[in-house]
Every structure is written in structure tokens, then in C-alpha cells.
Amino acid sequence: MADRDGKIWMDGEMVEWRDAKIHVLTHTLHYGCGAFEGVRAYNTVDGTAIFRLQDHTDRLFNSAKILRMQLPFSKEQVNEAQRAVVKANKLESCYLRPLTWIGSQKLGVSPRGNQIHLMVAAWAWGAYLGEEGMKRGIRVKTSSYTRHHVNITMTQAKAVSNYTNSIMANMEALDDGYDEALLLDASGFVSEGAGENVFVIKDGVVYTPDLSAGALNGITRNTTLHICKDLGIEVVQKRITRDEVYIADEAFFTGTAAEVTPIRELDRIEIGAGSRGPITEKIQSAFFDIVNGRNPKYAHWLTKV
């Protein structure tokens, strides 16, 4: 990704894509303390707009707070940087990646004395789990890796280091011929996907793990809760077991990258009819109406670029 034309916002300045570099002695590269966001901009009926920008920026600041990192920019500057990056790269729709990291002034576990940096990049990125997966549903494997315990890493921070666990789970699932991993918490209850929140549907009721299972408080998860309320679908946040997923009527993942992706199989066991279920399809379609600016109720979630 490094060798291409474009602009990246780095510490307050727009720099050439190829010149957006950091030193090998960067603290975050060695010890993994940093935080990031994944945001999407859509080509809406009113032009390009960033979806739930303020919520993503708020979560970035919360992640930094949890990690005791003092960001040297205001939320307004971070919002503005994201709009500027979409514009500078002339993108109609894209994925945005703000990331904050600890600098290279000194090494050693203690990060004190290092500068805190921030960058924002953006690029075109289609369906994260594939176009076909969006229609047919994807095949998922229960990971042999346990999701973070809530007092080992901080699960409400979108912390760089949390993703080693996600990467291992995702690689294992892909190596075994699946599309994505589902991770269980330290007590064996369903937590989340490697980069997605998870929902199951049984007898018309939508279930999702409560956040004590160590899942990230996903913004798409929250959007889904709003959609279900609007559609008059009951949602219950509770502990969910692996076998509850096997016998669910439908299941789906949510995430900024994954959007609303149906799950058709877990551990080679078909979920429901083994395809995208009717309630999932309704939620998916309501989601795309919102992000594409076709639902005026949620116009305030779209920040024009």
C-alpha cells in the first residue's frame, strides 16, 4: 500500500502518500501501544459523506484515554482532518484509517517522554468479506484463540495491540478454509468476530453479546440496535453460547469494514437455511439506506465532506 499516489494527513499536515513514513525505533512498533479507528465515507444521495464521524472520533479519544495517551489535537481537528483526506484524495466513497501512536524519542516499556502522533489515511475499499458473502453469507470458524479478558487488554479501546489476537484468529480461520473467525470469551461465551460484532436471530428476536464478553462497542452494532428498534424487532443483549449460534435461525456480523455481513455457517454447521436470512436481509437493507443517505431520520449521522 505504501507505493502509490495520494495524500495522507500526518500530525497536522497533508503529506505525499509515499512520504508518510516513521522511524524503525517508533515505540508503538516495538510494544504495540496505539489506537485507531475504521471509518467509512459513502457516496450518498447528497454527495460524499462520512458515516458517524463524531462517534468514531469520540471512540478514538476514549481509546487514547484508556491507554493514557494525550492526543495533541482536538476532536474538531481530527474530524476536519478526515474530511480533508477524503477531499484531497478525490474519493467518492472510501474507508478511513485514523491512527495514533507513540513516537521514537526513546524506547523501553515506559512511553513517557515520547511524542504522541496522529495520522489519517483513506482509500477505496469494497465489501470487506466479499460481495458474494454479503448476499450468500460467509462461513465462520469458532477460534481456538480466546478473546481478550476485560482486565488483560482493555477491550473498549480500539487498541493496536488487541489485534494480534484478531490476526491469529483470522489467519487460523482462513488457513482452515473459512472466511472469518468467531472468538469466545475467557468463560467460553460468544464474544465477537476478529473485526466484527456478532448477532444471532431466533424466533424473530435478535440477540447480541453484552459488552462484558469483551467485544468492542461497535458503532455498526449500535446502528443495528437503532435499526431493530425502528423495525419493531426485539433485541436482547445477553451471554450467548456457541451452540446457541448453531441452532439460531440467522446470524450476521457487523462492523464498519464488514457492514452487515450474513453468516451462513459456523464450524461447518449450517445456520438456519444456510443462506442470508430474511430478517438479516431487512436489517442489511435498512443499514444501506441509512449510510447512503436514503433515511432522513439519520441524516445527522452523515457528515458531508
Stretch that binds ligand PMP, among 120-128, 188-196, 200-208, 292-300 (CB under 6 A): 188-196
158 is annotated as an active-site residue: yes
98 binds ligand PMP (CB under 6 A): no
Which position has the grid cell 488457513?
175
CB-based closest residue to ligand PMP? 218
Contacting ligand PMP (CB under 6 A), which of 220, 261, 280, 284?
A: 220
* Residue closer to ligand PMP, measured from CB, 26 or 155: 155
* Residue closer to ligand PMP, measured from CB, 104 or 240: 240
* Residue closer to ligand PMP, measured from CB, 254 or 284: 254
Contacting ligand PMP (CB under 6 A), which of 28, 143, 166, 261?
A: 166
Q: What's the full length of the chain, in residues?
A: 305
C-alpha 257 chain-centroid distance: 6
209 binds ligand PMP (CB under 6 A): no
Which position has the grid cell 423495525?
231
Contacting ligand PMP (CB under 6 A), which of 192, 250, 266, 271?
A: 192
Grid coordinates of 10: 500526518
Alpha helices in 18-143 (DSSP H): 27-31, 53-66, 75-88, 131-136
C-alpha 68 chain-centroid distance: 22
CA distances to 192, 257, 284 from 298, rounded to whole Å, are 26, 19, 15
For the CB of residue 57, give the shortest distance to ligand PMP in the complex, in Å: 12
Q: Annotated catalytic residue: which of 158, 229, 282, 304?
A: 158
For the CB of residue 56, give the shortest distance to ligand PMP in the complex, in Å: 7
Which position has the grid cell 482462513?
174
Which position has the grid cell 456457541?
242
* Residue closer to ligand PMP, measured from CB, 268 or 300: 300
Burial 85-119 (b: 16+ CB within 10 A, else e): bbeebebebbbbbbbbbbbbeeeeeebeebebbbb
At residue 161, the 3 state secondary structure works out as helix
* Residues with a known catalytic role: 158
Q: Residues interacting with ligand PMP, by CB under 6 A?
A: 38, 166, 192, 195-197, 215-216, 218-221, 254-256
